[in-house]
Structure 1
Amino acid sequence: MFKPLATVQYPKFKLAIVALLFVNVFLYALTDTLTSTIDALVWLALLIIYELEATKFWTALTAERLRHIRNVLIVAITLVFFSYVNTSEWLDTLNALFWFVLIGLLELEIRAPDWVKTHQNNFWLATILVFACLIAMVFAWLWQGAWLDAYDGVLWIAAFAFIEVDFFQFLKLKKQ
């Protein structure tokens, strides 16, 4: 089903997505608001923290220190969310809510793996639903003519699906 991606070396694919996310931050810095730039930058940092935790790549940072950094980033994202609410940017607000749910699911997976395993079907369905809502947001931005936001949405869906959730493995787990 996903044969074009099957030939790509997964770590290189991850690096390509992260590089595109850095470009994304610069695009927002050049063309959009400071809030959107901060939003993109903080989400990128959060993705990298999750990847460091998942791969245990960086041993200089303890799990506790990574958790503290992650919590600070989540607070920053929450402040950006309230900025969107305050300025009535409703598509950004709704998008942020869906991403909060995804972060909640990731946090559950990290902090309560036994609970997730016990409720695997519900967890799987919730994750699929959140990704479906995020995909719907891309179409909403396209409909509004917000091309950068649509591109950003596709890029972040790919980043979390292929880097953090490892969507191919996730789909295989459900089949078993």
Structure 2
Amino acid sequence: MESDKKILSIPLRVSMCFILVGFIFKMLHWQLASTILTLAFVSILVLYALRFWNKPKKTFLAYNKLILISFWAINGLIQMYHLPFALYTQIILVISLILWAILEGTAYFSKENKSKKLNTSLIIWNLIMVLGSIAIMSGGFFMLLEWDYALALLTLGVFLITIYVFKDVFAQEIREENS
């Protein structure tokens, strides 16, 4: 399993690089931009499906990641070719992204939490981080539009993120003292 995952990681990263190159081609209005992007999105879709297929243990989170990556690639193709029904793929994409952020979210980027199982406190802290991030983004956007309660929303977001950071810092100090 581990070797299969490593074998498929390199082509996935190369495909991501091709997406960036395709975006640059598209912004510069160069030829072959659509071809490069199409090949990159399709290759990511196929490679991630193969990666998922090779997993011996498929959890809800693994299925959610498959949906997230698949609908991201499909949405990229739909947007590029201006096909209908983009809204439906975007709704599924956002729902799976929010689910991923709540269930795994910040623990995905932390080395120490890779081996830990999902528990209620981790879900709550990830939810606080997600809600704080959304509140900051929404509050900033509402400030630009000069809407009511923008400052309150922005303040709430900063407060939630601050609580999350303090919890993370103090929890790390306690772990270091216990070691």
TM-score (norm 1): 0.46
Q: Whose relative contact order is higher, 1 or 2, with alpha carbons under 8 Å and at least 6 apart?
A: 1
* Greater share of helix: 1
Larger radius of gyration: 2
